[in-house]
Amino acid sequence: MTNSILNTVKSGIIDKEYDVFDDELLIWINAELSTLKQVGVGTKGFVVNGPDETWEDFIPDNIEARNLAIGYMKIRVRLRFDPPQNSALIKPLEESAQEYLVRCNYQVDPDTTFDE
């Protein structure tokens, strides 16, 4: 199944057919892709320029890491682009994003240890 990274992220924020904010969303998407790459997830040098780049292109051979990366990306871009009006909701979303990021890293490097 091929999933556009841009459209997947947009689905949690705005209608995927509404492209007025694509340039701004792409800035945040690419910033978060860099974060994923720093923890060992995804193809180095990968950039999303529009709806044609897919999750399978970014993470071709690890479906578990791909699914975790999707969850991470949807939360992080939403927090940057359209944060909840209720500030009490921000901390749980940030904690969820951090957990996704840790699990992504563990998925590509199972020998990773995390200090509590």
Mean pLDDT, rounded, of the chain: 91
Half-sphere exposure of 82 (CA within 13 A, CB side): 11
Please tell me the predicted confidence (pLDDT) of residue 103. 93
- Higher-pLDDT residue of 1, 95: 95
Could you report the per-residue pLDDT of 4-52, keeping only the tens digit for each?
999 999 997 998 889 999 999 999 999 999 999 999 999 999 999 999 9
Residue 95: C-alpha distances to residues 11, 19, 44, 76, 100 (Å): 21, 29, 26, 10, 9
Q: Is residue 1 scored above 60 in pLDDT?
A: no
pTM value? 0.89
